[in-house]
DNA sequence: ACCTGAACACCGTTCAAGT
DNA sequence: ACCTGAACACCGTTCAAGT
């Protein structure tokens, strides 16, 4: 509070005229962060693409504001914040319960991945003599690819559950009741 | 430090004879937490079961010590800590690179899920008049089922990638080069 | 080798007093 | 309506001095 006051050219105590306490201030920062989430308009590729883009944009936010994101990740979640992303799943055509399960799975993964990236991957997993030989895959993590790897694992798992006769990513056969029709 | 000192019947400054600073103390707590991770011996069911049990036990740890786990989740990760779980993947027969990708995906998900549980799910996603009608699926999350939902999504996605001609969980056909043979 | 008093440089927050 | 000085009850940490 004292430092923030200084930054604003004011004494720390003045802040209490505008904010109840420090906790509320941090909460507000988190709120602003979440409001900044850009949910991309529907692209081609059905709900999968839409969901993938939404969570990529989630990760982008975490990368842009790692400190605030860490606050966010360990703070009780306001329902409004969750709704932003939940609506993507619903809007993509998922029923209530599957949408909820999917929402929790996808946001758990995304939050966990973002934190892992922020705090840094354990790069040098093997310190032994083979370290140099193994260096390439360990040293430089392709962050986008690593995130997509897990994200697509979950998304295609969801697709199979929701649409068991859909093809594996090849040109889709006619699906009896595709979730993409709202 | 002052409170801990009091708890130990000693002045705060005495702690600095045993620990460099507060940061190191918290780091030590995280270390102890991770050392407490019980990796279950191989059960039936191939690497999938082993991996599933390992990450369930990870979640169990987070539930048992939520405060320390939150510290863990936002702290740079020591390599020793990661090795504990990484070894399960390797021991389960995965090659280096797939094991790394799988490790990052699975632990991202598990850490993210654990945090979501700790800070509380946004239960009342819809506050409108339909809230009561929708209550059952929203009000009480079956936590174990929700965790397994996402975990199994990832695990079976991995299985498909590693063993494309394996069956969907039915009695497995002979696999050409099953990852279970180290 | 371990503990302590005193001190330093900080915190968040309240509140009566100012304008 | 907003800001401030003074004060309260805290922090983590250092260091010379004790045993």
Pairwise pLDDT comparison (A89 vs A79), residue with the higher score? A89
pLDDT band, very low/low/confident/very high, at A80 (cuts 50, 70, 90): confident
What does the DSSP 8-state code read for residue A170?
A: S
Nearest Cα to Cα of residue B56 among B30, B24, B88: B88
Most confident option among A61-70, A87-96, A122-131, B163-172 = A61-70
Instruction: Using alpha carbons only, give the angle B76, B80, B81 rounded to the nearest 5 degrees.
Output: 60
The domain spans of chain B are: 1-34, 39-181
Among A78, A111, A122, beta carbon nearest to B77 = A122
Residue B18 has pLDDT above 90, yes or no: yes
Other beta carbons within 10 angstroms of residue B173's beta carbon come to: 10
Euclidean distance between CA atoms A32 and B55, whole angstroms:
33
Instruction: Using alpha carbons only, give the angle A72, A73, A76 rounded to the nearest 5 degrees.
Output: 70
Other beta carbons within 10 angstroms of residue B46's beta carbon come to: 18
Residue A160 has pLDDT above 80, yes or no: yes
Residue A33 has pLDDT above 70, yes or no: yes
Counting other chains too, the contacts that B18-27 makes at CB distance below 8 Å and 24 or more residues apart are B25/B1, B26/B71, B26/B75, B27/B75
pLDDT band, very low/low/confident/very high, at A19 (cuts 50, 70, 90): very high
Other beta carbons within 10 angstroms of residue B12's beta carbon come to: 13
Residue A32 has pLDDT above 70, yes or no: yes
Protein-proximal positions, strand C, CB < 7 A: 2-6, 10-15
Q: Write down the architecture of domain B39-181 according to CATH.
A: Orthogonal Bundle (1.10)
Q: In chain B, which residue's Cα lies nearest the Cα of A80?
A: B125
> What pLDDT, on the 0 to 100 scale, is given for residue B173?
39
Query: Protein B15 CA to nucleic acid C13 C1', in Å?
Result: 28
> What pLDDT, on the 0 to 100 scale, is given for residue A23?
96
Euclidean distance between CA atoms B150 and B113, whole angstroms:
9
Other beta carbons within 10 angstroms of residue B34's beta carbon come to: 21
Chain B neighbors of A113, CB-CB under 8 A: 104-105, 108-109, 112
Residue A178 has pLDDT above 50, yes or no: no
> What pLDDT, on the 0 to 100 scale, is given for residue B168?
47
Nearest Cα to Cα of residue B39 among B61, B8, B69: B61
> What pLDDT, on the 0 to 100 scale, is given for residue B62?
97
Chain B neighbors of A120, CB-CB under 8 A: 76-77
Q: In chain B, which residue's Cα lies nearest the Cα of A161?
A: B153
- Lookup: tokens for B37: 């991770």
**Contact yes or no for A116 and B108 at CB 8 A:** yes
Pairwise pLDDT comparison (A182 vs A11), residue with the higher score? A11
Nearest Cα to Cα of residue A124 among B108, B79, B31, B104: B79
Task: Calculate mean pLDDT across residues A90-97.
Answer: 84
- Return all residues near B161 (Cβ < 8 A) that are at least 6 apart: A153, B98
User: pLDDT of A142-152, one tens digit each?
Assistant: 999 999 999 99
- Looking at every residue in chain B, the average pLDDT score rounds to 82
Residue A129 has pLDDT above 70, yes or no: no
**Is B88 within 8 Å of chain A by CB?**
no
What is the gyration radius of the CA atoms in chain A, in angstroms?
A: 21
Euclidean distance between CA atoms B51 and B58, whole angstroms:
11
**Contact yes or no for A120 and B157 at CB 8 A:** no
**Is B100 within 8 Å of chain A by CB?**
yes
Task: Give the SS3 label for residue A141.
Answer: coil
**Is B108 within 8 Å of chain A by CB?**
yes
Q: From residue B76, how far is each of B30, B71, B81, B85, B109 by CA, in Å?
A: 11, 10, 11, 16, 17
Task: Calculate mean pLDDT across residues A131-160.
Answer: 82
Task: Decide: B153 and A157 in contact? Cβ < 8 Å.
Answer: yes
Task: Decide: B147 and B135 in contact? Cβ < 8 Å.
Answer: no
| Angle in degrees, 0-180, between the axes of helices A143-162 and B143-162, rounded to the nearest 10 | 110
Nearest Cα to Cα of residue B85 among B156, B37, B155: B37
Euclidean distance between CA atoms B140 and A94, whole angstroms:
20
| Three state DSSP letters for A4-34 | HHHHCCCCHHHHHHCCCCHHHHHHHHHHHHH
Chain A neighbors of B161, CB-CB under 8 A: 153
Among B74, B119, B123, beta carbon nearest to A115 = B74
Q: Which of A76-80, A136-140, B5-9, B48-52 has the lowest mean pLDDT?
A: A136-140
**Is B154 within 8 Å of chain A by CB?**
yes
- Lookup: tokens for B110: 């598990």
**Is B98 within 8 Å of chain A by CB?**
no
Query: Protein B66 CA to nucleic acid C12 C1', in Å?
Result: 25
Task: Decide: A100 and B108 in contact? Cβ < 8 Å.
Answer: no
Other beta carbons within 10 angstroms of residue A27's beta carbon come to: 18
| Angle in degrees, 0-180, between the axes of helices B131-139 and A96-119, rounded to the nearest 10 | 50
Specify the pTM: 0.86
């Amino acid at each position: 509070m004292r430092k923030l006051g200084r930054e604003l050219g004011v004494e720390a105590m003045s802040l209490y005229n505008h904010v109840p306490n420090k906790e509320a201030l941090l909460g507000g920062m988190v709120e602003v962060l979440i409001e900044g989430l850009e949910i991309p308009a529907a692209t081609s590729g059905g709900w999968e693409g839409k969901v993938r883009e939404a969570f990529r944009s989630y990760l982008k936010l975490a990368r842009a504001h790692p400190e605030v994101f860490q606050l966010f990740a360990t703070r009780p979640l306001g329902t409004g914040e969750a709704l932003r992303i939940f609506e993507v799943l619903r809007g993509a055509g998922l029923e209530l319960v599957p949408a909820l399960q999917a929402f929790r799975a996808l946001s758990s993964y995304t939050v966990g991945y973002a934190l892992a990236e922020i705090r840094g991957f354990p790069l040098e997993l093997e310190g032994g003599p083979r370290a140099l030989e193994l260096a390439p895959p360990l040293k430089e993590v392709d962050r986008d690819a690593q995130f997509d790897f897990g994200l697509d694992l979950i998304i295609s798992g969801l697709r199979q559950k929701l649409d068991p006769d859909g093809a594996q990513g090849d040109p889709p056969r006619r699906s009896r009741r595709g979730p993409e029709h709202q």
